[in-house]
Amino acid sequence: MTALTLRPMTDAEYSAWQIALARDYAAEKVEAGQWPEEGSVERARRENARLLPGGLETPRTLLLTAVGDGGEALGRAWIALDHPEGIRGIAYLYDIEVHEAHRGEGFGRVLLGAVEAAAREAGAEALELNVFGTNEVALALYGSSGYRSVTQRMRKPL
């Protein structure tokens, strides 16, 4: 069985993650047609800074690194224990990712289970997330892991 453990992110991991997170989030927003490409990375950085005002020390936030049996970092996750809309008892998964070099090895499902356990241990009764409609791999993983849509936005080009 594929195994991993979670630990808090280090300062160096956090710094590198902030760069990758802003770039990846901006690209998803641009691809979804929600943001123009120009200025998108800066906009993502501002949005993330607003959500993480204390960086690694942001209260009620879990910033985690997934580590394999050999001690290598396999992925990461960002969980807010307070839902962005103030829904009591529901944590929010802002980011979860298996590093590209370890994709396809079964770590995604294991990481998701570990993240759910961490949120539960921190007092969450449920975990909510957003997934872009074009991310078919993530949609399949979440659906097969028991996640159900609570809202859906649809768009048709005219």
Confidence of residue 74 (pLDDT cuts 50, 70, 90): very high
Confidence of residue 154 (pLDDT cuts 50, 70, 90): confident
| Token pair listed for 88 | 């009591």
- The pLDDT score that the predictor gives to residue 132 is 80
Stretch 29-51: mean pLDDT: 94
How remote is the C-alpha of 100 from its chain's centroid?
Answer: 15
- The pLDDT tens digits for 9-37 are 999 999 999 999 999 999 989 988 899 99
List of residues 6+ apart from 3 with CB closer than 8 A: 68, 69, 110
Q: Cα–Cα distance between 154 and 150 in angstroms, integer? A: 13
Confidence of residue 125 (pLDDT cuts 50, 70, 90): very high
User: Is the pLDDT at 1 greater than 70, yes or no?
Assistant: no
76 and 65 in contact (C-beta within 8 Å)? yes
SS3 128: strand
Residue whose C-alpha is closest to residue 55's, from 96, 95, 15 = 15
Query: How far is the CA of 103 from the CAs of 42, 97, 136, 151, in angstroms?
Result: 28, 9, 15, 28
- The pLDDT score that the predictor gives to residue 152 is 78
Q: Cα–Cα distance between 24 and 76 in angstroms, integer? A: 14
- The pLDDT score that the predictor gives to residue 3 is 85
- The pLDDT score that the predictor gives to residue 110 is 94
Q: In the CATH scheme, what is the code of domain 5-144?
A: 3.40.630.30
- The pLDDT tens digits for 50-70 are 999 999 999 999 999 999 988
| Token pair listed for 85 | 């809309």
User: Is the pLDDT at 157 greater than 80, yes or no?
Assistant: no
Longest dimension (CA), the chain: 52
* Alpha-helical regions (H) of the chain: 11-31, 40-51, 107-121, 136-144
